[in-house]
């Protein structure tokens, strides 16, 4: 039951009043803590799932998901620490080179873009677009 404060007469002493509360998902009566909103974990999970589905994704979530996808793909295709892969293959898997966390410029002037600790450099070899994949190294700081 919900406890609410109520003042009696002209005294400033709060008095607790019992009120019934219902679950925000299924409408069943709630027992337990005074600030509890749901009758069970199932109802709480269902409520938050519906809220997330009903609201369009925020820009932050879209960017975060793409960065995570890019990182996972770079990690998957770069098992050895340095490798070369066709650009078309990486792009077909959902990689988007516009999303990266930071960059590093080597002495030759090549700019490696990184998704966290995994980096890539766009190159063209024999008229084929490729990415050179690398892992972040201590000397890159």
Say whether both 89 and 127 belong to one domain.
yes
102-128 pLDDT per residue, tens = 999 999 999 999 999 999 999 999 999
pLDDT in tens, 46-98: 998 888 777 777 888 889 999 999 999 999 999 998 999 999 999 999 999 99
Please indicate, yes or no, whether residues 77 and 136 belong to a single structural domain of this protein: yes
127 and 90 share one domain: yes
Q: Are residues 11 and 69 located together in one domain of the fold?
A: no
* Residues 73 and 130 occupy one common structural domain: yes
Q: Does one domain contain both 134 and 70?
A: yes
Tell me: do 91 and 136 sit in the same domain: yes
Write out pLDDT tens, residues 20-36: 889 999 999 998 888 89
Both tokens of 50, joined, read: 């519906």
> What b-and-e string marks burial along 21-31, b requiring 16 or more CB atoms within 10 Å of the CB?
bebebeeeebe
Residues 50 and 71 in one domain: no
* Non-local CB neighbours of 47 within 8 Å, separated by 6+ positions: 24, 25, 38
Number of domains in the chain: 2
Same domain, 64 and 132: yes
What is the rounded CA–CA span in Å between residue 121 and residue 70? 13
Question: What is the Rg, in whole angstroms, of the alpha carbon atoms belonging to the chain?
Answer: 27
Give me the DSSP letters along 16-42. EEEE--B-TTT--B--SSTT---SSHH
């Amino acid at each position: 039951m919900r406890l609410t404060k109520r003042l009696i007469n002209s005294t400033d002493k709060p008095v607790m009043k019992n009120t019934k509360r219902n679950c925000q998902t299924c409408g069943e009566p709630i027992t337990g803590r005074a600030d509890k909103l749901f009758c069970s974990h199932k109802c709480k999970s269902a409520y938050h799932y519906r809220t997330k589905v009903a609201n369009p994704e925020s820009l932050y979530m879209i960017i975060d998901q793409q960065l995570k996808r890019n990182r996972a793909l770079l990690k998957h295709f770069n098992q050895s620490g340095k490798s070369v892969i066709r650009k078309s293959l990486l792009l077909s898997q959902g990689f988007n080179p516009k999303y990266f966390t930071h960059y590093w410029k080597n002495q030759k002037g090549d700019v490696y873009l990184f998704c966290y600790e995994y980096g890539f450099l766009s190159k063209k070899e024999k008229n084929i677009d490729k990415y050179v994949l690398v892992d972040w190294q201590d000397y890159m700081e």
